[in-house]
Homo-oligomer: A and B are copies of this chain.
Amino acid sequence: MDVLKIADKEFNSRLFTGTGKFSSSQLMKDALLCSESELITVALKRVDVQDENDDILRHLDHPRINLLPNTSGVRDAKEAVFAAQLSREALQTNWVKLEIHPDPKYLLPDPIETLKAAEELVKLGFVVMPYIHADPVLCKRLEEVGVQCVMPLGAPIGSNKGLKTLEFLEIIIDQSNVPVIVDAGIGSPSHAAHAMEIGADAVLVNTAIAVSSHPVAMAEAFKLAVKAGRMAYNARLAPVRQKAEASSPLTSFLSEN
C-alpha cells in the first residue's frame, strides 16, 4: 500500500486539512470526515483546553483523526516554543505544525525564526512540521536539524492561487529526504492534483474547503483529486511534447483505397 509515513505514524490519506473558517462546527466535522483526512491542524488559540466539552475538540474526536496543533499567532521562535509546549500538555501530542508569520498582511513565514524554533523543538522531542517559504536551501537546513517533514507554501495563505512556487517545489521535492507537504495557496482540486503529480507527499488544504459554498462536497472533491494526482505520479505521466502526435492514425483511409 502507498502509505505516507511521518515519524511513527502512517497515513492512508495524503490530504491534510485544517479547522479554520468553517461557518459552523457541525459543517466542519461533516466536511473533514468526508475528506477522509487523518491529520487535521488546529490553532491552539481556538481551543479551550480547560474545557473537556470544547466544541472543536469534541467534533474532532474520531479514531481516524490525528490532531496537529499549530502555533499560528506567534511572532518569533521563543513564542513558538512556548506555544508548542502548551499544546503538548493540552492536547497530549508531541506533534506540532510550526508557523511563525509576523507579517499580518501576507502571513508569510519567517525563515530565521522558524529554523531556530525547529532546532529547539526537535531537541525537546517534538515531531516538527514547519510551514515555510518554498526555499530549497531552507528546507535542507530544516532537514539537517531534524524536522520530520517540510511544508513549503504554494502561494500566500488563503489566496487560492495555486502552485505559484512550482519551480522551487520541484527542486525541493528533488532534494528532500523528508516528506514534502505543500501547504497554503491550494485553491482547487486541480491545484492539489498538480502538487501530487509533481511528487509532493501530501497537501494541506483548509480555506478552499471551508469557504466553498458546499464544504462537504468540496472536501470530497479534494479527496478524489489528491488520490488522482498520487496515482498519476505513481503511474508516471506521459511526457510533454513540442509537436502534436496523433492518437488516431493520420493516413487517409480514403486515399488508400
Contact A248 B18 (CB under 8 A): yes
Docked CA distance A220–B229 (Å): 11
Interface residues of A in 243-257 (CB under 8 A from B): 243-254
- Measured between beta carbons, the chain B residues less than 8 angstroms from A74 are 252, 254
A164 neighbours in B (Cβ, 8 Å): 166-168
Against B, the Cβ 8 Å flags (1 = close, 0 = not) of A168-186 are 1001000100000000000
Docked Cα-Cα span, A229 to B193, in Å, equals: 10
Does A159 have its Cβ within 8 Å of any Cβ on chain B? yes
Query: Is A27 part of the contact surface with B, judged by Cβ < 8 Å?
Result: no
A window 139-195: CB within 8 A of B: 140-141, 155-161, 164-168, 171, 175, 187-191, 193-194
Given contacts A157-B245, A248-B43, A248-B73, contact A238 B135 (CB under 8 A): no
How distant is the Cα of A235 from the Cα of B214 in the complex, in angstroms?
5
Q: Which positions 216-257 of chain A face chain B at CB distance < 8 Å?
A: 217-218, 220-225, 227-229, 231-232, 234-254
> Which chain A residues in 85-142 approach chain B with CB under 8 Å?
99, 101-112, 115, 133, 135-138, 140-141
Whether B141 contacts A237 by the Cβ 8 Å rule is no
- Total identical chains: 4
Q: Give me the 9 closest cross-chain CB pairs, A-B, nearest first.
A: A158-B245, A20-B247, A43-B248, A72-B248, A45-B253, A156-B244, A214-B235, A190-B193, A225-B228
CB-CB under 8 A for A232 and B218, given A188-B197, A253-B73:
yes
What is the bound-complex CA distance between A121 and B236, given in angstroms?
40
B residues in contact with A155, CB < 8 Å:
167
Nearest-neighbor residue (CB-CB) of A241 within chain B: B159
Residues in B whose Cβ lies below 8 Å from that of A157: 244-247
Q: How extensive is the interface on chain A, given as a class? A: 35 or more
Q: B111–A252 contact, CB under 8 A?
A: no
Cβ contact of A79, chosen from B211, B225, B254, cutoff 8 A? B254
Question: In the complex, which residue of chain B has the Cβ closest to the Cβ of A47?
Answer: B253
B111 and A72 contacting across the interface, CB-CB below 8 Å: no
